[in-house]
Amino acid sequence: MFSFVVLGSFIMLNMFISIIMDGYNTSNEQEVMRVNEYTIEAFKTAWMLYDKQATGLIMVEDFPNLIIDLILKEIEDLPNDFTDNDEENILFNLRLKPSLVIYAKMARNQNIDEDGAII
């Protein structure tokens, strides 16, 4: 009988600790999520340019321009001393795909040097 009580207490203690650890891990994951309030506001602002009546719909032809706006917004908002480890300043992480950045710059007639790097 004594061993049953000890074993039951041990199991309950482990369950209690696991619930606390799970809550802690969930809160840490939410802190480092790439989609945060700033990201949502940037997306809303870009979306409103193409959905002036706030219908929740945009024309298919406007979708590439929406993506271009998001890429250029991300590039504009990066600090000069940005490093790849500075994930808090990444908006949509589109800047990590150089071909998208070059396409966005070319679509808006912005300068690109001979190596394809953005000026």
Give the residue with greater pLDDT, 88 vs 46: 46
pLDDT digits (tens, 9 = 90+) for 21-65: 998 888 877 666 666 677 788 889 989 999 989 898 999 898 888
Identify whether residues 42 and 20 lie together within a single domain. Answer: no
pLDDT exceeds 90 at position 81:
no
Identify whether residues 15 and 66 lie together within a single domain. Answer: no
Number of structural domains found in the chain: 2
Identify whether residues 105 and 88 lie together within a single domain. Answer: yes
Identify whether residues 78 and 39 lie together within a single domain. Answer: yes
- What are the Cα distances from residue 18, in Å, to 32, 60, 81? 21, 47, 40
Question: For position 106, what pLDDT does the model report?
Answer: 79
Write out the residue range of the structural domain in which residue 17 sits: 1-31
Question: For position 41, what pLDDT does the model report?
Answer: 85
pLDDT exceeds 60 at position 87:
no
- Rounded to two decimals, what is the model's pTM? 0.52
